[in-house]
């Protein structure tokens, strides 16, 4: 599984990147054949409280999943997005089994 982290208009700290790597690695529990995970981090309107946006795209053979969450910290945004994606992956896996 390849993990790409893109921080738009700022540099993500080593600590944040390590956090993302660790969290994203857990997605393999939900679906084995994940090819690429693309994480994009962005700060929207720096003067507002909830301004940290995390968008995560997961590429699997013949499909892709996406979740985008905004929170007051990148960690919280990433956690929420990964929770949404894990639900999507489980639903997809169930559909695959049903076929």
Structure tokens at 43: 């700060």
Beta carbons within 10 angstroms of residue 22's beta carbon = 9
In the prediction, which pLDDT does 96 show?
87
In the prediction, which pLDDT does 82 show?
97
pLDDT mean by block of 10 residues, the chain; 99 residues: 93 95 93 94 86 96 96 96 96 88
In the prediction, which pLDDT does 98 show?
84
CATH number of the domain at 2-98, please?
A: 3.30.160.100
In the prediction, which pLDDT does 46 show?
77
Q: Are 52 and 45 in contact (CB under 8 A)?
A: no
């Amino acid at each position: 599984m390849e993990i790409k982290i893109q921080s738009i208009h700022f540099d993500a700290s080593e600590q944040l990147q390590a956090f993302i790597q660790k969290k994203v690695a857990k997605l393999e529990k939900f679906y084995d054949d994940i090819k690429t995970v693309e994480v994009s981090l962005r700060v929207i309107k720096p003067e507002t409280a909830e301004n940290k946006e995390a968008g995560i795209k997961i590429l699997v053979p013949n499909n892709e999943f996406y979740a985008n969450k905004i929170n007051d910290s990148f960690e919280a945004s990433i956690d929420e997005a990964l929770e949404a994606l894990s639900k999507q992956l489980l639903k997809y896996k169930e559909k695959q089994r049903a076929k």
